[in-house]
């Protein structure tokens, strides 16, 4: 069975930290053997929007956010793990090890 991680990264300005967190999550997920799709929300709107199918098929859902994500109700029926943008950026190695479990 394929492991699928999806994530939303969002901050009020949606500039550097959003994309740094997205990159860190993607690297950790790939290293741990997950397929990955990450939605970013920021100054340029929503990019790489997660679909209902993405959400339904996800093994793991992470919100790495500094604000409540737009359209957050999409995730109401699922368990979502929230971490800060800074934690996603700083904890790449530790996150990768946890995802491998």
Distance of CA 11 to the CA centre of its chain: 12
Q: Nearest-CA neighbor of 80 among 101, 48, 55, 97?
A: 55
pTM of the model: 0.88
Per-residue pLDDT tens digits for 2-50? 899 999 999 887 678 899 899 999 988 888 889 999 999 988 899 999 9
What would the CATH number be for the domain defined by 4-100? 3.40.50.2300
The active-site residue out of 11, 28, 60, 95 is 11
How far from chain centre, in Å, is Cα 95?
12
Instruction: Confirm if 26 and 16 have CB atoms less than 8 A apart.
Output: no
Active site residue 9: no
Question: Who's near 19: CB < 8 A, 6+ residues apart?
Answer: 9, 40, 42
Please compute the mean of the pLDDT values over residues 74-85 and round it to a whole number: 93
Q: Delimit the domains of the chain by residue range.
A: 4-100
């Amino acid at each position: 069975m394929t492991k699928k991680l999806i994530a939303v990264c969002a901050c009020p300005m949606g500039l550097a930290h959003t994309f740094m967190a997205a990159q860190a999550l993607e690297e950790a997920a790939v290293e741990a053997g997950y397929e990955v799709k990450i939605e970013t929300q920021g100054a340029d709107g929503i990019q790489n929007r997660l679909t209902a199918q993405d959400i339904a098929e996800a093994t793991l859902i992470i919100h790495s956010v500094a604000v409540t994500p737009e359209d957050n109700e999409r995730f109401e029926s699922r368990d979502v793990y929230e971490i800060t943008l800074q934690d996603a950026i700083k904890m790449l190695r530790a996150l990768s090890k946890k995802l491998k479990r």
